């Protein structure tokens, strides 16, 4: 078979019956990663994709060079104070990975980094380039410095499967200790005296379910299991309160949580439950002085903030009561104040609660923006570190002076090549869904771009995850070529509060898809958009597959990255990674016939027909543990066998995980590939529409 001929996947009919419904899955053989035929098929798809997109090589290289040329490759983050040290990371031109460093703190004022020059007296803690060596994939899972600043815990992954090896380093001597623990998950927490480190491990379904205690200097096989979560719907995690007085062991499903605490001075003690789990009640804590802050949703859909005495943490006294228009997201406690992170009208904000005086909200300079607390490890401080961005303002680091109540800009990410935010403009629009719901849309374009313009419409819409208006260097390559970029803040996300999420999950999941189509039609009808290329990843890839089935005529192309397109088969199989956990999000089709019928009516793989579909580019990774590679592989195979239109392309990274390729230059090349395909698709659609008189 020639590489410019579409691969034809063999059909091996496999029947399954649920709730009296028998379905034939002719491509289920692709789930066997060890089958040579599977690898051969994926490689044939890669060869075909490369052949079909070969004419874009020069454009890909141009875009890669644009991304690279706009990026300050040698750079430093703003140092963050913790104890007697300033912590920061830096990158060096030509190197794939970041370098994590620290510097003795001689004053309360952060040192001013000079790009390209390491700070005098710095100590390198983790050099990702040195650790990665020649490995084609490399990722750091956690880096955690002990409270006394003496020891570093760090973990590494060389395959993309998110199972890390944990090691420890003496930062005084630079020596890597003999302690080594394989198969750990993200995160971890130190005891107060740095004698013990707590970490989590995962089960065969990739669920973090155990918390272990490791005593520094002892063999890993002597580590103590301190907690095991037997309910397959729950994940566990371990951390410290910001005061570092309490270890916090959290267990949570999609809808329920339970927290245990332990005095960090006594790491071998027993954890005690803050409040036993109650289905549907979520809560989280932080500590300050003689009380805990408790953020919870008991009788409060959008959450309320309460306080609880340390001696009786189950007794909650309201501090910020529930509001229908404001979703409380997080609370960070400090020695003299607390910061509450919230969402209102689809945008984020921060409320300060002084120990003395009235609460107030921080004002930001742009109507469309994203702001959140960031990098605040020091418990006793008169400043609050914030991360800020908009669709035209590059990522910025501010300190908010709590005494003067003013924002102090510490750094704005440099965008080279003469970027000027004044050359671009951002907007907030509202589309109207079929049921009358108003759906927010964030839009950015270069000034002077006239409509209807080619458009990338991005969406996600699951897990109460919000896609906030943010800046992208790579996106400039689209905007400067006359594109509009828009984010459809569809139901299922969290942009408009908890109800917004609930109206796009379980048996209301289709709202996510119809909202996206409504936004696309609004963009065309209101004159913003000509050809629209839809883009989304992971659960947003499910959205892409669903809208391709729902309204293929609306889109000039679809980019689906690590897409969750075989959702019904996956959620029916409790042996697969994360399935049981996901039942609270999608429903349980294995045991509930109504859920089964509803999911079958929308899942992309199940609903392909013989209509004309737009061209589709699916991008996946062989070692992805969250959305397995075979979902897009099966999807593309069935599209090619059943649907008209296309072409339907599959690109599989053969040595990466859910996040794609790990090195920054490799990631830029992957983005350049996707953007070149989008540009080509929009240009082709514009030519096609001129010939037919349509506006697709």
Catalytic entry in 286, 489, 658, 676:
658
Q: How close are the terminal C-alpha atoms of the chain, in Å? A: 33
What are the distances in angstroms from CA 665 to CA 139, 161, 668? 14, 21, 5
Task: Give yes or no: 435 in active site.
Answer: no
Q: Which residues of 319-328 are buried (b: 16+ CB within 10 A; e: fewer)?
A: bbebbeebbb
Q: By three-state DSSP, how is residue 55 classified?
A: helix
Q: Which residues pair with 286 in a beta bridge?
A: 293
Is-contact 653 620, C-beta < 8 A?
yes
Is-contact 101 171, C-beta < 8 A?
no
Is-contact 545 534, C-beta < 8 A?
no
Task: Give yes or no: 624 in active site.
Answer: yes
Burial grade of 523 (CB within 10 A; 0-12, 13-18, 19 or more): buried
Query: How far apart (Å, rounded) are the C-alpha atoms in residues 343 and 644?
Result: 43
What are the distances in angstroms from CA 291 to CA 149, 207, 381, 654? 26, 32, 19, 50
Q: Which residues contact 267 (CB under 8 A, 6 or more apart)?
A: 191, 192, 193, 195, 196, 198, 213, 247
Catalytic entry in 287, 624, 630, 676:
624
Is-contact 171 151, C-beta < 8 A?
yes
Residue pointed to by tokens 């889109």: 555
Query: How far apart (Å, rounded) are the C-alpha atoms in residues 89 and 124?
Result: 9
HSE toward the beta carbon, residue 118, CA cutoff 13 A: 14
How many other C-beta atoms lie within 10 A of the C-beta of residue 256?
Answer: 18
Of 50, 37, 39, the closest CA to residue 6 belongs to 50
**Parallel, antiparallel or unpaired: strands 616-621 and 557-561:** parallel
Q: By three-state DSSP, how is residue 421 classified?
A: helix
- Alpha-carbon dihedral angle through residues 429, 465, 100, 105, given to the nearest 10 degrees: 80
Query: How far apart (Å, rounded) are the C-alpha atoms in residues 162 and 143?
Result: 15
Q: By three-state DSSP, how is residue 151 classified?
A: strand
**Parallel, antiparallel or unpaired: strands 283-288 and 484-488:** unpaired
Q: By three-state DSSP, how is residue 595 classified?
A: helix
Task: Give yes or no: 322 in active site.
Answer: no
Query: How far apart (Å, rounded) are the C-alpha atoms in residues 304 and 319?
Result: 8
Catalytic entry in 538, 621, 662, 676:
538
Query: How far apart (Å, rounded) are the C-alpha atoms in residues 62 and 49?
Result: 19
Is-contact 660 28, C-beta < 8 A?
no
Q: What does the H/E/C string look like for 619-687?
A: EEECCCCCCCCHHHHHHHHHHHHHCEECCEEEEEECCCECCECCCHHHHHHHHHHHHHHHHHHHHHHHH
**18-23 contacts: CB < 8 A, separation 24 or more?**
18/572, 18/589, 18/590, 18/596, 19/593, 19/596, 19/597, 21/596, 21/597, 21/600, 23/606
Catalytic machinery residues: 538, 624, 658
């Amino acid at each position: 078979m020639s590489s410019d001929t579409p691969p034809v996947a063999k059909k091996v009919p496999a029947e399954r019956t649920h709730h009296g419904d028998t379905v034939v899955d002719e491509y289920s053989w692709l789930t066997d990663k060890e089958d040579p035929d599977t690898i051969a098929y994926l490689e044939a798809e890669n060869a075909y994709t490369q052949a079909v997109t070969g004419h874009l090589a020069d454009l890909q290289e141009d875009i890669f060079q644009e991304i690279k040329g706009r990026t300050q490759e040698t750079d430093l983050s703003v140092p963050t104070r913790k104890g007697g040290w300033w912590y920061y990371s830096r990158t060096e031109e030509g190197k794939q990975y970041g370098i994590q460093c620290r510097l003795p703190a001689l004053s309360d004022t952060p040192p001013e980094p000079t790009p390209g020059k390491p700070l005098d007296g710095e100590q390198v803690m983790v050099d990702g380039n040195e650790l990665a060596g020649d490995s084609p994939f490399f990722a750091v899972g956690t880096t955690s410095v002990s409270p006394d600043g003496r020891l570093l815990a760090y973990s590494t992954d060389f395959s993309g499967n998110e199972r890390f090896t944990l090691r420890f380093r003496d930062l005084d001597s630079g020596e890597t200790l003999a302690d080594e623990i394989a198969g750990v998950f993200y995160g971890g927490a130190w005891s107060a005296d740095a004698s013990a480190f707590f970490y989590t491990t995962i089960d065969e379904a990739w669920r973090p379910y155990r918390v272990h205690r490791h005593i520094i200097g002892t063999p890993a096989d002597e580590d103590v299991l301190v907690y095991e979560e037997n309910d397959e719907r729950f994940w566990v995690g371990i951390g410290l309160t910001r005061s570092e007085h309490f270890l916090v062991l959290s267990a949570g499903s999609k809808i329920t949580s339970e927290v245990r605490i332990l005095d960090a001075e006594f790491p071998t003690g027993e954890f005690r439950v803050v409040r036993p789990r109650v289905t549907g009640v979520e809560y989280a804590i932080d500590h300050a002085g003689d009380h805990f802050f408790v953020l919870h949703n008991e009788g409060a859909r959008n959450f309320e903030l309460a306080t609880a005495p340390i001696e009786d943490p189950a007794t909650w006294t309201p501090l910020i009561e529930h509001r229908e228009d404001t979703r409380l997201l997080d609370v960070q406690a400090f020695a003299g104040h607390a910061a509450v992170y919230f969402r209102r009208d689809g945008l984020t904000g921060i409320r300060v609660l002084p120990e003395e005086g009235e609460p107030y909200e921080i004002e930001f300079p742009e109507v469309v923006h994203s702001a959140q607390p960031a990098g605040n490890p020091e418990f006793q401080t008169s400043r609050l570190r914030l991360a800020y961005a908009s669709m035209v303002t590059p990522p910025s680091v501010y300190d908010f002076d709590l005494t003067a109540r003013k924002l102090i800009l510490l750094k704005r990410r440099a965008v080279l090549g003469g970027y000027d935010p004044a050359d671009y403009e951002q907007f907030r629009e509202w589309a109207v869904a079929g049921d009358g719901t108003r759906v927010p849309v964030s839009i950015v374009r270069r000034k002077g771009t006239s409509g209807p313009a080619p458009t990338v419409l991005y969406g996600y819409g699951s897990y109460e995850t919000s896609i906030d208006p943010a800046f992208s260097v790579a996106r400039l390559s689209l905007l400067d070529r006359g594109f509009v970029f828009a984010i459809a803040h569809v139901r299922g996300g969290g942009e408009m509060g908890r109800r917004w999420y609930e109206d796009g999950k379980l048996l209301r999941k289709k709202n996510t898809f119809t909202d996206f189509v409504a936004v696309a039609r609004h963009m065309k009808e209101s004159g913003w958009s000509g050809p629209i290329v839809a883009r989304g990843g992971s659960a947003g890839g499910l959205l892409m597959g669903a809208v391709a089935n729902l309204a293929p005529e609306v889109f000039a192309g679809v980019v689906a990255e690590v897409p969750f397109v075989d959702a019904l088969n996956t959620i029916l199989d409790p042996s697969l990674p994360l399935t049981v956990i996901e039942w609270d999000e999608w429903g349980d089709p294995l045991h509930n016939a109504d859920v089964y019928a509803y999911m079958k009516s929308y899942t992309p793989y199940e609903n392909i027909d013989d209509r004309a579909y737009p061209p589709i580019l699916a991008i996946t990774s062989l070692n992805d543990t969250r959305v397995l590679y075979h979902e897009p592989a099966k999807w593309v195979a069935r599209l090619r066998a059943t649907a008209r239109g296309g072409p339907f392309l599959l690109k599989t990274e053969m040595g990466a995980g859910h996040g794609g390729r790990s090195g920054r230059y490799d990631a830029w090349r992957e983005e350049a590939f996707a953007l070149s395909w989008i540009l080509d698709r929009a240009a082709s659609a514009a030519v096609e529409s001129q010939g037919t008189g349509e506006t697709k």
